[in-house]
Structure 1
């Protein structure tokens, strides 16, 4: 088994050394765009009379800084760079000590002669990567910025530009559309609709006005119950792209775990108004809840401590192993065979995993599937479970954000003869399925009137004029463009289904809500074949 841990080639000490050497590029701060009209400059306020108040004038607010200074100082710590050697020094005199922007975070400053000590205690100092981090471990092909020489992979059109399609001639575009239509008719079966409900959302439906999210979550939980994903309260539920963790919150209500379940939330950024505290529960025994702020492409699921069976709600960290006797340690170092046997003995049984997500955009779905299959390959050698991943349920969306190098089923693309360039065209045209400014003509009070198509959906996008023009050039009305966009989406989705089937899962695509509830109303659901054969 290969080592999935990433070597610590960028430790804290290295980051400090880079900062001191000036080779570390400071992060780019978000510049707020000011749209207010310029105010008339008011006369400066009088010199502050409050004892030990900073004398730095904030020009934008036309007031002096309110921070407190040290005894005998004129400026606070943030503006102490303006402090000079004498108490009554001239304005042009050089300061006794110089403050410079912190290399880790330029929004604050540090003393230049004390920079090294500041870098070691700075809160913005890069943290050491955890054990469950491995750079790009879940990518199918190398990322564009890390491609080796001579390795070419065309990036997907995540920037939202349509120039890639505009470069095609009308004959090429018509031929591509005909190819997509033929492939869809050949490879995509009829997709059934399974709209269910779950009582865990009954209270929410009574108190919210916009209940479309409640309908989606209720149907997802209903399908999880149908597929027996809720019957084992000791399961570890991993929500990918968790955001606030709202789906996990209602999942906890549906499971009624009484503190026995484990909830792992994975997202790149920590959002506000999280449901993490609600997931802990109000009972004496709290559920085990852990949020991992990490990109899914770098996540090694097998190294997540919360998946271990010996990490419970009362024991939130892996138990510290007792130190072996010196004799045992020496014996373990005698040969490679004994070392391998020792590692084998160190394996700890994992909990069954159920992966869920409500609207996992674009390539995030692809790297999630890759992450789960990587975990399955790692655990199958040791786990006593029929399958380490008990179930997968992902509500799909935003296929226009897919990347060719992230797509897990490259063999399927070769089988249907879709090149990397055509993959970009495929993802670009998929946006036609959810464009909100397409219109149709309806008769209102006896007169024709154009009505918008799409409704208010959080994943709908605005169709650009160039794509509309392309559709007009090839005589595609809005129904034709929407149909073609859906065909592009389903081709990508059926490749994902085949990928899971090749690795031992009974996978299918299901419409879990109607189109009026959400334009993105399709979910990928999968359970191990062993589980379906036994039921």
Structure 2
């Protein structure tokens, strides 16, 4: 029964399963002989070619965000580095392109519109997972008229955006200091029946999988309470990071991975390989994998 749950992607984050450390992943790779290693590389490249050939980059800078950044620069109140601004703007810009968000540029609700109870223009509630200081949410609130915010973060931070957000009288802010793995959205009373947008910038390792489980409690069977979900998922935008820290026990799409002809042990290898993308100069000419065996044997 445990094996079935472990491969289904349902309920397995609560199983008593060993966490595979980076050192364990590295040692497993070092134990491979040359043909095994090259076969794995070829399999990964084949799967990548079949699945990812149509994926395109989509960098966005919405006009409303550009104006917001300019005003903050003029006021000298830009609280973070330029690279973070670009990332945040692109996240919300892609959400706008998909129609999930409607920006507040030039939009001033009439008195009649304000008096209509419960009237909403798009999604007005955001849950930011792994929120840190909460500056992604600040951009959403200032540029897209978000009026209810939940910041999920297990650590305590200084210089948070909370102070600025609380100055917005039309916005309700709740900071939930809890690990994403332990968060049950059904237990958040103020979220019941409210359509929400889930966001996250730099959700480290398995935090992305844990966020998906949190947003879709019907796919978790660790509690009978989860089966009576009263939350309304409205959209999702996550920027992932630290893929080498991902864990099989938390991974949400095991069946898909296994159906590709990959094995659980190869999942650990794939996650470990991701660190190679940022640890060297990749402009050099490396040999084609078709000659992988002879090249490695000659080293």
Normalising by structure 1, what TM-score?
A: 0.43
**1:404–1:441 distance in 2 versus 1, CA, 3 Å:** closer
Tell me the secondary structure at the aligned position of residue 263 of structure 1. strand
Q: Distance in 2 between matches of 1:441 and 1:154?
A: 38
Question: Is residue 363 from structure 1 mapped to residue 209 from structure 2 by the alignment?
Answer: no
Question: Is residue 276 from structure 1 mapped to residue 162 from structure 2 by the alignment?
Answer: yes
Question: Is residue 227 from structure 1 mapped to residue 98 from structure 2 by the alignment?
Answer: yes
Give the C-alpha shift of residue 233 in structure 1. 6.4
* Contact 1:353/1:389, CA 8 A, preserved across alignment: yes
1:130-529 matched pairs, under 5 angstroms? 140-142=11-13, 147=16, 153=17, 155-158=19-22, 162-198=26-62, 199=64, 200-204=68-72, 210-231=81-102, 232=121, 235-257=124-146, 261-282=147-168, 285-308=169-192, 350-374=193-217, 388-435=232-279, 437-438=280-281, 440=283, 473=296
* Contact 1:204/1:214, CA 8 A, preserved across alignment: no
The structure with more helix, counted as a fraction of residues? 2
1:70-109 matched pairs, under 5 angstroms? none
Give the C-alpha shift of residue 186 in structure 1. 2.4
Q: Distance in 2 between matches of 1:382 and 1:243?
A: 27
Structure 2: unaligned runs, 5 residues or longer: 1-8, 103-120, 286-292
* Contact 1:361/1:397, CA 8 A, preserved across alignment: yes
* Contact 2:123/2:234, CA 8 A, preserved across alignment: no
**1:291–1:158 distance in 2 versus 1, CA, 3 Å:** farther
Aligned residue number for residue 31 of structure 1: none
**1:292–1:173 distance in 2 versus 1, CA, 3 Å:** same
Q: Distance in 1 between matches of 2:45 and 2:282?
A: 23
Normalising by structure 2, what TM-score?
A: 0.74
Give the C-alpha shift of residue 203 in structure 1. 2.9
Give the C-alpha shift of residue 176 in structure 1. 0.8
Give the C-alpha shift of residue 376 in structure 1. 8.6
* Contact 2:123/2:197, CA 8 A, preserved across alignment: no
**1:229–1:402 distance in 2 versus 1, CA, 3 Å:** same
Q: Distance in 2 between matches of 1:294 and 1:474?
A: 50
User: How many residues are paired up?
Assistant: 254
**1:381–1:300 distance in 2 versus 1, CA, 3 Å:** closer
Structure 1: unaligned runs, 5 residues or longer: 1-137, 148-152, 309-349, 443-469, 477-535
**1:416–1:274 distance in 2 versus 1, CA, 3 Å:** same
* Contact 2:11/2:219, CA 8 A, preserved across alignment: no
Q: Distance in 1 between matches of 2:158 and 2:194?
A: 29
* Contact 2:213/2:219, CA 8 A, preserved across alignment: no
CA distances 1:455-474 after superposition (whole Å, capped 9, x unpaired): xxxxxxxxxxxxxxx9x837
Q: Distance in 2 between matches of 1:197 and 1:475?
A: 48
**1:234–1:218 distance in 2 versus 1, CA, 3 Å:** closer
**1:156–1:474 distance in 2 versus 1, CA, 3 Å:** farther
Give the C-alpha shift of residue 193 in structure 1. 2.4
CA distances 1:418-466 after superposition (whole Å, capped 9, x unpaired): 222111111111111122x436569xxxxxxxxxxxxxxxxxxxxxxxx
* Contact 1:360/1:397, CA 8 A, preserved across alignment: yes
**1:142–1:228 distance in 2 versus 1, CA, 3 Å:** closer
Tell me the secondary structure at the aligned position of residue 155 of structure 1. coil
Give the C-alpha shift of residue 166 in structure 1. 0.7
Give the C-alpha shift of residue 278 in structure 1. 1.3
Tell me the secondary structure at the aligned position of residue 250 of structure 1. helix
* Contact 2:186/2:229, CA 8 A, preserved across alignment: no
Q: Distance in 2 between matches of 1:213 and 1:475?
A: 44
Give the C-alpha shift of residue 275 in structure 1. 1.1
Q: Distance in 1 between matches of 2:133 and 2:99?
A: 25
Give the C-alpha shift of residue 202 in structure 1. 3.1
